[in-house]
A and B are shown apart, each in its own frame.
Chain A
């Protein structure tokens, strides 16, 4: 325990219930367990079957996000199976005393939006959820990772998990992101560099000037897609940006009148968390943000991407020609096309990657006073009900609807297409989400991952365009701070 330690090692050490010994992993305490309707029902069944209870319902929070329709919440859910899953979650939460943010509640939203918004996600915590994008919470300097249903049941029963200590990877991004290059482009560049399995077995710590200069919301976008680089978790050291974002949120220290802990005392503890000088990592990857460009994926993994100024590669010029050929066939591309020549049918502005207020503002700046191209159907799905309300207070909903976008209720929506928001077979979508897997947004649908600015610009043009040609696109790393909202 002596000697310089990394952020991960410090958070790890603070949560060890029983240490690694004799080949056994450590038993690690979980500070916050987030639940949603899709991956939890069988875990609750398991508890009932074994006659077990939930150890800490007061460290557990549930919301409905994956299945929820993004239409009027006062209208019952048509899809019987979806409705049943939501009903089962509500019943389980009632039975075990777990707080729930149901469809229609003012704080409902994508589970990875809700934790930070409520101030529940804090530096130095361990956060788990039955969803691989739990890595999002690492933006606050928390160790946050996705788990399966068996581990959900384990955490419900014991508030702990058996974990082998992961390896550490530093991703150092020096320099400042140029005009038009967003947090989304940063993480797509990282994934292109390390590959979709490059982070396996590791927890990534994102470091360097380009990371430190990001807003909290940009940091969440970066950490969110750690799993797309194979890493179960990504983390960023907490700093003044983190503290300012948290202060005054409903569950932030000092917010409760019971005087249990002051915000300043918490900040003092959080300042101890960043990686010590001289700490070492199992692997170090260095990148320079000055070389980054707005990025577009062309294939069926998030690692298959090129700068917007580039062309779709020919299979023989990729590392795995057979895989690239399969991807291009699925995507309806030949290879060699200029990215800006690719026409689109749909635009999805949403997901736990890119549906925070700053994302909507950035897209709205591009859209203001313009019209969505004929033949393009474009949709905005705010990540949470709170973001939706904030955006409406600023008039962003009108900016989008006047341009021809649909303005929807909060949820996961077309990021994974479990609700009615799906692509039709063959439809091509510019999407701000995180996965371009085959069928992800609807069977036969073709997904290109981009930043909100790029998605907005594509919606207007009907094909991909370089946002750097549009002065309104703005420098996202400068302009995206939503603390005042």
Chain B
């Protein structure tokens, strides 16, 4: 995975609550067996509305999506973060994220930033007023800088480390193979197998 450190660019404002993964990546696009090619389908049904923000060319190259609370609720489909990332987003800023979605983003190097609602509304207003307004997210420093000011965000130390170093989590875990083997040796006898 590519390391994630500093993200710069412009914002796409989509202030809606509870945006679910069915909207981010509708089910008809989950039939692909590849990991790529999802960018064009992101928010497919909403994009039929000509006024939808991503149809506005001024937001077409935004790298940061600024959105409402509980973003990514619903299904565990990783196709949702794949689509957002392949569309060109490098970070999503929201007051809160759904748990599975947030984990899926971290595994793909798509940064999720939680900020308080007041600051997000300022960012949304800024992006509406000036689509070219710049934003800078510094993951090592845990800051978001824009004309709306500087805001600090929290992120758990493990996720931050994995992102900044661009580590392969499976490779890391395989270093613990001995411990896993020891655990397996002491598992309860009545646990079933699928064989």
* A interface, CB within 8 angstroms of B: 14, 17-18, 23-25, 27, 29, 31-32, 38-39, 41-42, 45, 50, 52, 55, 57-61, 66-67, 79, 81-82, 84-85, 88, 99, 119-120, 122, 124-125, 130-132, 145-151, 153-154, 157-160, 162, 164, 196-197, 200-201, 227, 230, 232, 251-253, 260-261, 265-266, 269, 301, 320, 323, 326, 416-418, 435, 437-440, 443
Contact = CB atoms under 8 A, between A and B. Distances in A.
A200 B179 contact: no
Contact of A58 (B157, B169, B195): B195
B122 interface: no
B96 A120 contact: no
A461 to B, nearest CB: 29
Interface string B167-180: 00110011011011
Given A27-B176, A151-B103, A232-B99, A84 B33 contact: yes
Nearest to B191: A31
Q: Which of A52, A119, A145, A151 has the most CB of B within 10 A?
A: A151
Interface string B79-97: 0010000000000000010
A197 B192 CA distance: 34
Given A159-B180, A162-B169, A416-B27, A132 B100 contact: yes
A220 to B, nearest CB: 18
Q: Which of A31, A131, A197, A266 has the most CB of B within 10 A?
A: A197
A153 B170 contact: yes
A223 to B, nearest CB: 16
Contacts of A125: 191
A275 B76 CA distance: 29
A153 B174 CA distance: 13
Contact of A162 (B69, B77, B158): B158
21 contacts: A17-B179, A23-B157, A24-B158, A39-B76, A50-B170, A67-B31, A79-B31, A82-B31, A84-B31, A132-B74, A147-B76, A148-B77, A149-B104, A150-B108, A150-B169, A158-B174, A158-B176, A162-B173, A164-B158, A251-B194, A265-B190
A59 B194 contact: yes
Contact of B194 (A27, A99, A159, A260): A99
B192 A253 contact: yes
Interface residues of B, number: 56
A197 B22 contact: no
B22 A435 contact: yes
A82 B27 CA distance: 12
A29 B180 contact: yes
Contacts of A27: 173, 176, 179-180
Interface stretch (B55-63, B126-134, B181-189): B181-189
A269 B176 contact: no
B47 to A, nearest CB: 12
Given A154-B173, A230-B99, A17 B194 contact: no
Given A131-B75, A260-B190, 10 more contacts: A38-B31, A41-B33, A79-B31, A84-B33, A120-B192, A154-B170, A164-B158, A201-B99, A230-B73, A437-B23
Contacts of A266: 190
Contact of A42 (B35, B176, B194): B35
A196 B33 contact: no
